Amino acid sequence: MIDAATLARNPALLKLDLYCKGARLDASCFIEGDGGRKVLRTRAGLGSGLELVLPGGLWTNVPVTEPFAARSPYVLHRVQGSYVLRHGGRDLAPVTLSPRPAWYDDTTAAGKPMTRIGTLQGTYLGIYQAKVCEYWTARPQKVNCKFCSVGLNLGVDDADEKSVAEVMEVVRRARDESGITYVDFNTGHYDGDTYLDILEPYLVRIKKELGLLVGFQTPPHRDLRRYDRLREMGLNRVSFCFEIFDRETFKEVCPGKDAEYGLDYYLEAVRYCAALGKKGPRHEPWVTNGEIIAGLEPAESSMRAIDWITSVGAIPTVCVFRPLVGTDLEHAEPPSTEDMVPVFRRLYEACMERGLPIGCAPNVHVSLVMLPEECRTLTARRFPLQVMKLKAMAGIFGYRFRRRLRGALGH
Ligand code: SF4
């Protein structure tokens, strides 16, 4: 068990420990009344928790509704209008509630609650587009990923039909009032590989009209050349969630992905798209992510996945497994922080060793995962030259982004 003094000194370790243990809410908390965000059950289930900002400006999403959180040593208290995280009954760290924007309580022109179109995940806007993933409706037996709650969530907090006009309306409000810089679309699997056809009209409109960074996460399309076109159009990020690197565990936990595409095809798509960074418009950054869930396979296997992803020039997105209520894995235990530390340490080190562009996007704070750059305090290794290079890149990205945004705003 990591002691409280170490957790108080190291916000990255605290963020990780909270993912693994969750927190309890003291009766003094008044989350929505104090301008915080309601706990929403959205987005492949990872966003089931309370959105908070930890010391050091680390945005996070803390599990509070799962049974394991009821045993947590962390309790959130409200003291004279401010929030403090206590650990084992003693004050550990002051925290702030991630602010709930005014548009969260508003509806679109068509009368739909705006949070059913998109929600903030940290400081970016996440949109789960289109109908439920078809692994959930497969017959004779559903073949959904066992950790996933999308089939439980849709129609609860996420609307299923979202017109381009509605999405544009919400993205504009989020840009103008919440200062978002990035919009992320996410779909499940649809027969006939229609997900890119469904997403393209949204991606193109946002990219052309709003000056924001735009990315998407879908299964790997069978025609990989489709990604050349999306890169050419100026899109900024593509993410492939293969979740698990160990082949047997992949088959068992992700039966639909295994039968439909297979792990090798996911890896091929990551490799192909990472290579597109050298093509396409030079003024538009391009990042390929390979996404995995740590805690569903041995830590060594997650670290092998990180090494493989970075070896092809992609950046790993590493989630911490959260056994969500109602899912096939709801009775599984979350991983231990001690097992997770080497994984996230490797995440930072591998990105720095390969010279990958981490932490360069302006104002993108992610609550659902530990970003690679957030993990730097988990290692004693220092990469001074790479840090200097990344600072320079962030400065250039930021300058170009602000200039384009001013153009889109007409001033
Ligand atoms: S592909 Fe798997 S994780 Fe993604 S929505 Fe479908 S069942 Fe859920």
- Burial status of residue 99 (CB atoms within 10 A of its CB: 0-12, 13-18, 19 or more): middle
Between 408 and 175, residue with greater pLDDT: 175
Query: E-assigned strands of 248-314?
Result: 287-294
Among candidates 316, 320, 288, 313, which has minimal Cα distance to 304? 316
Does the Cβ of 125 fall within 6 Å of ligand 1? Answer: no
Q: What is the pLDDT of residues 84-141, one digit of tens each?
A: 999 999 999 999 999 999 999 999 999 999 998 999 989 999 998 767 889 999 999 9
- Model confidence band, residue 258 (pLDDT cutoffs 50, 70, 90): very high
- Whether the Cβ atoms of residue 247 and residue 241 lie closer than 8 Å to each other: no
From the CA of 149, give the closest atom in ligand 1. 8
Considering only CA atoms, which of 133, 131, 147 is closest in space to residue 260? 133
pTM strictly above 0.85 = yes
Helix H, strand E, coil C: the string for 228-262 is HHHHHCCCCEEEEEEECCCHHHHHHHCHHHHHHCC
> Residue 268: enclosing H or E segment and its boundaries?
helix 263-275
Q: Which residue has the higher pLDDT, 179 or 129?
A: 179
pLDDT in tens, 54-75: 999 999 999 999 999 999 999 9
Distance CA(62)–CA(73), nearest Å, equals: 13
- Please give the Cα distance from 75 to 70 (Å, whole number): 10
pLDDT of residue 99: 95
**Model pLDDT, residue 212:** 96
Distance 82 CA to ligand 1 centre (A): 38
Residue 144 CB–ligand 1 contact under 6 Å: yes
Average pLDDT over residues 306-333: 96
Helix (H) or strand (E) holding 299: helix 299-311
Q: For 321-325, what is the mean pLDDT?
A: 93
Please give the share of the chain, as a percent, with pLDDT higher than 70: 96
Give pLDDT, residue 404. 85
Distances (CA, A) of 99 to 36, 206, 360: 5, 24, 23
Position in ligand 1 atom list of the atom nearest CA 136: 7
Interatomic CA distance for residues 12 and 8, integer angstroms = 10
Residues 6 or more apart in contact with residue 191 via CB below 8 angstroms: 134
Identify whether the C-beta of residue 154 lies closer than 8 Å to the C-beta of residue 132.
Answer: yes
How does pLDDT run across 146-164, given as a tens digit for each residue? 999 888 865 444 546 789 9
Cβ 321 vs Cβ 301: under 8 Å: no
Q: Which of 48, 141, 148, 198 to mutate to test the pocket of ligand 1 (most atoms within 8 A of CB)?
A: 148
In angstroms, the Cα distances linking 50 to 31, 235, 333 are 9, 30, 20
Q: Exposure of 57 by Cβ count < 10 A (0-12 exposed, 13-18 middle, 19+ buried)?
A: exposed
Residue 38 per-residue DSSP state: -
Encode pLDDT of 288-300 as tens digits. Answer: 999 999 999 999 9
From residue 252, alpha-carbon distances to 109, 115, 302 in Å are: 44, 33, 16
Taking residues 274-284, what's their average pLDDT? 90
229 in Cβ contact with 277 (< 8 Å): no
Supply 233's token pair: 């159009």
User: What mean pLDDT value characterizes the chain?
Assistant: 93
Residue with tokens 């894995």: 329
Of 130 and 24, which is predicted with more confidence? 24
Atom 4 of ligand 1, residue of closest alpha carbon: 188
Q: Which residue has the higher pLDDT, 160 or 229?
A: 229
Instruction: Note if the bond before 73 is cis, omega within 30 degrees.
Output: no
Helix 195-210 with 164-178: angle, nearest 10 deg: 40
Residue written as token pair 């962390």: 74
Residue 66 CA to ligand 1 center (angstroms) comes to: 20
Residue nearest to atom 1 of ligand 1 (CA): 188
**Across 148-152, 171-175, 307-311, 352-356, least confident range:** 148-152
pLDDT tens readout for residues 91-103: 999 999 999 999 9
Where would I find the H helices in 91-194?
Answer: 150-153, 164-178
For 328-374, write each residue's pLDDT tens digit.
999 999 999 999 999 999 999 999 999 999 999 998 999 999 999 99
Question: Does residue 143's CB lie within 6 angstroms of at least one atom of ligand 1?
Answer: no
- The string of pLDDT tens digits covering residues 28-62 is 999 999 999 988 765 554 567 999 999 999 999 99
Query: Which of 135, 160, 252 most suits a substitution to test ligand 1, by most atoms within 8 Å of the C-beta?
Result: 135
* 8 A C-beta contact, residue 279 and residue 231: yes
SS3 396: helix
At residue 156, the pLDDT reads 46
The angle subtended at Cα 362 by Cα 53 and Cα 376, nearest 5°, is: 60
Kindly report the length of the chain: 411
